[in-house]
Amino acid sequence: MIQFNKISKDPPYIIFKDMYKKSLEANQNNIEAICISSFSESKKEVNARYVNLKFINDKEFIFFSNYNSPKSQDFESHNQISGLFFWNSINVQIRMKAYIKKTSQEFNQKYFFDRSVEKNASAISSYQSKQIDSYNQVIENFNRSLKNDDLKKCPEYWGGYSFVPYYFEFWEGHESRINKREAFDMIDGVWKQSFLQP
């Protein structure tokens, strides 16, 4: 589930929330799963992975991750990303483009405090995406953290990322491929709406 906090009343946000509601009512699995694509300037390489979108605060989309992970290194080198939802229960795709930044340490600490100790032990004990000898080692690291670490204190290498899209595209699948595509471009502080051919 995504938590909406005073979501913006701008047209793309109204459409987003309406589609989210319909998808939720249609029992969409993993409704919060968003594919985030990033680019590494040094490697000249694009990469993508799913994360769970936790909040929409006004215009900001927020998820959490490890700040030393490959995705974080990509964001450091190139702060422009794309985000992608596909809600198959209602046959909708939502594409976004945005600039990404870290959330504040206070925000991270508050969110971390409210999470389960198990999730926090997992976050604390993982050097995300680094190679490890075995899966058993992962479990040992997790158990050691569960026993020894302060599981309510957010480590500085873990926290949120926030992005405010400057582009949205809503794709609705229809019969005979007469799909509806509606785009919103933020130009000089104003949303420019258009329809795209399928």
Ligand X SMILES: Cc1cc2nc3c(=O)[nH]c(=O)nc-3n(C[C@H](O)[C@H](O)[C@H](O)COP(=O)(O)O)c2cc1C
Please give the radius of gyration of the chain, using alpha carbons only, rounded to the nearest integer: 19
Q: Which is nearer to ligand X, 28 or 66 (CB)?
A: 66
DSSP the chain: -PEEES---SHHHHHHHHHHHHHHHTT-TTTTEEEEEEEETTTTEEEEEEEEEEEEETTEEEEEEETTSHHHHHHHH--EEEEEEEETTTTEEEEEEEEEEEPPHHHHHHHHHHS-HHHHHHHHH--TT---S-HHHHHHHHHHHHHHS-TTSPPTTEEEEEEEEEEEEEEE--GGG--EEEEEEEETTEEEEEEE--
Least separation in angstroms between residue 152's CB and ligand X is: 19
Least separation in angstroms between residue 191's CB and ligand X is: 28
CA–CA gap between residue 104 and residue 74 (Å, rounded):
19
Least separation in angstroms between residue 174's CB and ligand X is: 27
Q: Which is nearer to ligand X, 65 or 145 (CB)?
A: 65
Q: Which is nearer to ligand X, 69 or 120 (CB)?
A: 69
Q: Which is nearer to ligand X, 26 or 35 (CB)?
A: 35
Least separation in angstroms between residue 44's CB and ligand X is: 16
Contact 141, 161 (CB under 8 A): no
Q: Which is nearer to ligand X, 63 or 163 (CB)?
A: 63
Least separation in angstroms between residue 38's CB and ligand X is: 7
Least separation in angstroms between residue 188's CB and ligand X is: 33
Name the site residues for ligand X (rule: CB under 6 A): 30, 33, 47, 49-52, 63-66, 69-71, 128-129
Q: Which is nearer to ligand X, 72 or 170 (CB)?
A: 72
